[in-house]
Amino acid sequence: MELRRTVCGMVAALALGAVALGTTELAAKSDPVPVKIEKPQAWQGVNQVVIGQFSVVFMTKKVDYDGGGFLSTSDKAKATGYLTGLSEADYQKITDAVYADFLTQMKDHGVAVLDDAGMEADPYFAKVKPEKSGEKADIQLKKNDHGDGLTYWPSQLGRNTNALLNFRIMDRNMVNAYTGEYNYAKTAKVPVLNVVYYIDFAKPASTSGGGLLQSVKVTSGLALSQFGSQFALMGIDGKLTRMLLQTPIEEGGDFATITETTSGLQKGMHVANILGAGVFGGKHGTMNTKFDYRVTDPASYAAKTLLVTSRGSDLFIRQMEGMR
């Protein structure tokens, strides 16, 4: 779903108490999906691994800035989107399906997933306390853009451990997990594979025009995000190397209804700033908007998530296969 909000429309909304919404069909992009491999030599000959961490981070808040640059034709705008409408059970069921698909693909491509009892017996790994399902993660997007996400682990794995995500300052739990993987990989001579997938729910917001003619366009879009999705391998030499997704893997089709939730006070202040700048000169500031992306079809959201993560797993594992 797509929604566009204009300042002129905002002025009318202040008078009428309503905001006009518009929708359009979301089209899937066919851009290439490259992977950045930090140290290709570290992946050579890897045909068996132990799984250290497998996490799916579902984005629930996304902040985009657009416009306002030196060569920009529009004023600066900020759009904050919030994903709603899914339950903890929905997220867990999706995560379990993603992991099951991952295991199938590992087997199909000749990468054996070994028993993790030896790693769990490591003194440092034994100190790791289970992370809470739904743990909030801060997501670094581009430039000043940030997002929030909820982190889930597959129930099949039997443990919620974290060696890659920053949940808290001075995270001893993370240090113990990382050290346990390091010790096991070096002593057992078996690499430890960590997988993190970030699931995006919105395309980047865009703005056009300025002043009372400025508009902000937001569109729902399910994607495996390039901001953080990765395979990270703790090698038998004790060094961590990564494969990083560089371009989002997208799946078209609507799954959410978008509603603007910007408060009337915020709208009024922005209009007043524009009018004041016109009279007294100066800048009128950034256009701030908020939107709710409510999932109206959880089954569709789940199916699209499995499609993009399956394509992501295939992409990463084929890179491993090609370097064997």
**252-288 tens-digit pLDDT:** 888 999 998 875 555 455 444 444 444 334 454 566 7
Confidence of residue 160 (pLDDT cuts 50, 70, 90): very high
Q: Do the bridges between strand 230-234 and strand 240-245 make them parallel or antiparallel, or are there none, so unpaired?
A: antiparallel
The answer, yes or no, to whether residue 73 has pLDDT greater than 50, is no
- 163 against 218, higher pLDDT: 163
Alpha helices in the chain (DSSP H): 7-16, 88-108, 117-120, 172-188, 264-280, 298-322
Please check the confidence at residue 291 and state whether its pLDDT lies above 50: yes
Percent of the chain whose predicted confidence (pLDDT) is above 90: 62
What pLDDT score does 287 carry? 63
Distance of alpha carbon 235 from alpha carbon 241, whole angstroms: 8
Per-residue confidence (pLDDT) for residue 75, from 0 to 100:
60
What range defines the domain where residue 262 resides? 2-322
Residue type, 21: L
| Confidence (pLDDT) at 92 | 98
Using CA atoms of 157, 55, 318, 106 in order, give the dihedral in degrees to the nearest 10.
10
Domain count, the chain: 1
Residue 143 has pLDDT above 80, yes or no: no
Give the predicted TM-score (pTM) of the model. Answer: 0.83
Location of structure tokens 């729910």 = 201
Strand partners, 216: 5, 207
Q: Bigger pLDDT: 66 or 133? A: 133
Q: Do 220 and 253 form a contact (C-beta atoms < 8 A)?
A: no
pLDDT at 215: 67
Collapsing DSSP to helix, strand or coil, 243 comes out as strand
- For all residues of the chain together, what is the average pLDDT? 82
Percentages (nearest 5) of helix, strand, coil residues in the chain: 35, 30, 35
Higher per-residue confidence, 158 vs 281: 158
Which residue did the predictor score with more confidence, 219 or 318? 318
Question: How many whole angstroms separate alpha carbon 62 and alpha carbon 317?
Answer: 29
